[in-house]
Chains A and B, each alone.
Chain A
Amino acid sequence: MIEVVVITGRTTDQGMTIDEKLSEAYMKAVSFCEMNEKDMEKLGVKDGDRVLIKNELGEVVLYVKKPEMDLQPPEGIVFIPMGPYANRIVGILNGSGTPQYKGVKATVEKTDRAVLSVEEIIME
């Protein structure tokens, strides 16, 4: 298990599937996380494996995706595309009206648990 800071944000694939949220393409676009190779080594995970990300807000199981080219996040930072998966573990309220969707602490561990479908994740 490692401690990380979670960052969320838009991606091209998320934008392209935003009007088709009940499709497989949308699930594929938002149900993964990207992390540094060194963090992947520490966890003993490779591209396509699953991890459990947890904090006081909740938990979520995501696929690990090896970032393309040299776009890996720095060590200790995990990127998740914005959407229903990320929202299980981000969104700290602080009175300003806008939840904190970025820079949220969490722990990451390897897991055998399944990644839920988009519908399962909102109905759970």
Chain B
Amino acid sequence: MIKDVVCTFCGNACDDIEFEGDYGRNLCPVGEAKFARKERIKTPMINGKEVSYDEAIEKAAEILKSSKRPLLYGWSSTVNEAIRLGVIIAEKLGGIYDQCSSVCHAPTTLAMIEQGIVGGTLGQAKNRADVVVFWGCNPVEAHPRHPTRYSVMARGFLTRGRSDRRVIVVDVRKTPTAYLATDFYMIKPNSDFAIFTALRSIVNGHEEAVPDRVGGLKKEELIELAKTLESAKYGLVFFGLGVTHTRGHERNVEAVIKLVQDLNKKTRYILQPMRGHFNVVGSGEVPAWEVGFEYAIDFSRGYARFSPGEFTAVEALIRGDCDAAMIVASDPVAHFPKKAVERLKKIPVIQIDPHPNLTTKIADVVIPTAIVGIEAEGTIYRMDGVPLRVKKIKDTNYPTDVEIMEKLLEKIVR
């Protein structure tokens, strides 16, 4: 039996998986699907024709070197060691480094730059939290073991599980997570900023400034919610893309950061974004310690510049700035808005990934690799920034992302 395997699907990065042959104990349905056998990209390809790894890497290097401003995008489903090499390659090429956060929690990064964040780890949720808020997130479907392992039912040093916790769910629709709630508040879309601001007014003693209704909630409901928040001995606010993907984006996150700062004048509170992929935190942390920024980084002037809205992948593609792209451990063709995908279809695209996906369909050069956490080991950051070592539990003939990045870097600086 192989113990303490880290699941490499979502930001929970559950590190208590046990493998007996192909059977993995403790996996959630999504984790089970992750570890199940599925179709792979069989060999490297250039324009759909099977080639050797050397030929594919040579061609990839040629495309990147002849490009004026290549986009190097993805990274959230690989290890920090590969990301580090990716950042160096982007710098050598004078290209753009961007990662999955730019269509996800990048507004959280922006808000943290402006406001800082009262943060902690998931251990605080498990061991201390007596009021847990899920705002614009649906862990039952997106982070299935989060409630049992860390937040709702988890038993810790100072908590005895569900009976000790008040669970608040705030969303624009009833999700399965709402079934876990003590109190469920249904709000109107695009009203998060207004509601956070109203709650801050109440917490700061300016109840009279709050109108009768805000974002679909009655004033009485807002007061009740504020009182519940204040009643915590140790509160925790988890928030998801319901906050970052709606109108207001980083301003919404700034508002919830300020609400948590205000609550800290009365009791203890921390804030935690529900990060999606198992190493999306690493795809921001690694460039941050390499070149100072987390995403939307341009090296065209020979040094790193950060400008969201300018160097974020979607805008850079739509504007037509990038004349080639390398996609590592991600599928932007499935997840970018249509206009950005149209640009990707026009330029040479290199894909590095274990599985065939929609980006494979438009890629000129395809390089299959080992699956991180199953066939390749390395370091990742869990959603709360805790570094974990993911394991190799199966042998493979596929090279790892790190091996491909090393060879590519060698060819680029040669």
Contacts and interface: CB of A to CB of B under 8 A. Distances in A.
Given A12-B141, A57-B338, A99 B357 contact: no
Given A7-B173, A16-B33, A87-B337, A96 B110 contact: yes
Contacts of B186: 74
A96 B249 contact: yes
A20 B331 CA distance: 11
B290 to A, nearest CB: 20
Interface string A1-42: 000010111111001110111110000000000000000000
A103 B189 contact: yes
Interface stretch (B127-135, B162-170, B237-245, B278-286): B237-245
A104 to B, nearest CB: 9
Interface in B56-84: none
Interface residues of B, number: 62
Contacts of B246: 100, 102-103
Nearest to A101: B245
A102 B243 CA distance: 9
A19 B34 CA distance: 7
Contact of A15 (B9, B189, B296, B356): B9
B341 A9 contact: no
Given A19-B355, A122-B333, A98 B296 contact: no
Interface string A35-65: 0000000000000000000000110000000
B107 A96 contact: yes
B233 interface: no
Interface stretch (B16-24, B98-106, B112-120): B98-106
Point out which of A22, A79, A90, A94 has the most chain B C-beta atoms below 10 A from its C-beta.
A22
A98 B245 contact: yes
A98 B142 contact: no
Interface stretch (B85-93, B265-273, B308-316): B308-316
A98 B245 CA distance: 7
B140 to A, nearest CB: 8
Given A22-B39, A71-B175, A91 B33 contact: no
A71 B241 contact: no
Interface string B314-358: 110010000000000001011111111100000000000011111
A73 B338 contact: no
B241 A101 contact: yes
Contacts of A84: 333-334, 358
Given A83-B335, A99-B103, A102-B242, A122 B173 contact: no
B173 A15 contact: no
Interface residues of A, number: 46
Interface string A74-85: 100101001110
A57 to B, nearest CB: 7
Contact of B173 (A77, A82, A91): A77
B151 to A, nearest CB: 17
A13 to B, nearest CB: 9
B38 interface: yes
A29 to B, nearest CB: 11
Contacts of A23: 39
A95 B309 contact: yes
B142 A20 contact: no
B34 to A, nearest CB: 7
B362 A122 contact: yes
B138 A100 contact: no
B11 to A, nearest CB: 12
Contacts of B250: 96, 98
Given A21-B357, A22-B356, A96-B107, 13 more contacts: A10-B141, A15-B141, A19-B355, A22-B357, A57-B337, A73-B172, A93-B318, A96-B250, A97-B308, A97-B315, A98-B250, A102-B172, A123-B361
Interface of A: 5, 7-12, 15-17, 19-23, 57-58, 70-74, 77, 79, 82-84, 87-88, 90-91, 93-103, 118-119, 122-123
10 closest A-B pairs by CB: A91-B337, A97-B308, A97-B312, A103-B189, A16-B33, A15-B30, A103-B190, A73-B173, A102-B245, A95-B309
27 contacts: A7-B173, A7-B189, A9-B242, A15-B9, A15-B10, A16-B30, A17-B33, A19-B354, A21-B331, A21-B334, A22-B39, A22-B358, A73-B173, A77-B172, A84-B358, A91-B336, A94-B247, A95-B309, A97-B106, A102-B172, A102-B189, A102-B242, A102-B245, A103-B172, A103-B247, A122-B333, A122-B334
